[in-house]
Amino acid sequence: GESVGLHLPTLSVQEGDNSIINCAYSNSASDYFIWYKQESGKGPQFIIDIRSNMDKRQGQRVTVLLNKTVKHLSLQIAATQPGDSAVYFCAEINAGGTSYGKLTFGQGTILTVHP
Amino acid sequence: DAEITQSPRHKITETGRQVTLACHQTWNHNNMFWYRQDLGHGLRLIHYSYGVQDTNKGEVSDGYSVSRSNTEDLPLTLESAASSQTSVYFCASSLGTGELFFGEGSRLTVL
């Protein structure tokens, strides 16, 4: 999951395993959540998003789960591949408020996939 | 293909100098953002713009300024660079949803 401090959470998995990356968000007013992937030396890339009126959304090999009761978000990656190795960020926004387009990012989780 | 580009990708400067980082996008997005990324702090918003002639301060705007004279560009200026501004800077653009399109980043070192 996300944490504050100098050391990012890490997750190491074997190729082919499923990965679960967790994120705790802070703002109860947030109604739109996004997962980004950042490979070394590159900018973050959009993976998948979910609105607060949903609790699950699936993409290609990825699933995002949202639990608003405990303000928790997770990203599940099926059949993890070495190319999935990256830092994963969750981001939140109150899309209906004045924060139009302004995301608040979590600290990130480092995913390492071993062949 | 539409894209967003940042320059320079790497810059070393001295304390007190003025530095400008360029950001150019060809998606015709109205919204543009500058973030800095530091270990332990994630991505923090510096400045943002919702359109030409519009600029707004983010959470860590002190010591930075931006201008938006056209849709494509949002240059970030450090008026008098400080060592605390050593960081990796990311520009991003969006249509208005939370899906931001990021540049490749500009690594700035202030000695």
Separation CA A49–CA A57 (nearest Å): 8
Please check whether residue A48 touches B, CB under 8 A.
Answer: no
Query: Hey, are the CB atoms on B104 and A100 less than 8 Å from each other?
Result: no
Label residue A112 by pLDDT band (50, 70, 90): very high
CB contact under 8 A, B102 and A41: no
Compute the average pLDDT of residues B20-27. Answer: 97
pLDDT tens for A36-88 read 999 999 999 999 999 999 999 999 999 999 999 999 999 999 999 999 999 99
Residue B75 makes CB contacts below 8 A (sequence gap 6+) with B20, B21, B22, B23, B66, B67
Chain B residue with CA closest to A96: the answer is: B97
Indicate whether A6 pLDDT > 60: no
Query: A106 — contact with chain B (CB < 8 Å)?
Result: yes
pLDDT value of residue B58: 92
Task: Give yes or no for a contact between B3 and B100, defined as CB atoms under 8 angstroms apart.
Answer: no
- Residue B40 pLDDT: 72
User: Residues A20-36: pLDDT tens digits?
Assistant: 999 998 888 888 999 99
A40 shares contact with chain B (CB less than 8 Å): no
The confidence score (pLDDT) of residue A107 equals 86
Q: Which of A32, A89, A107 sits opposite B98 (nearest CB)?
A: A32
- Residue A1 pLDDT > 70: no
**According to the model, what pLDDT value does residue A29 have?**
84
Interface test with B, best of A47, A103, A109 (most B CBs within 10 A): A103
pLDDT score for A3: 36
Q: Model confidence over B42-81: pLDDT tens digits?
A: 899 999 999 999 999 998 999 999 999 999 999 999 999 9
- Please provide the average confidence, as pLDDT, over all residues in chain B: 94
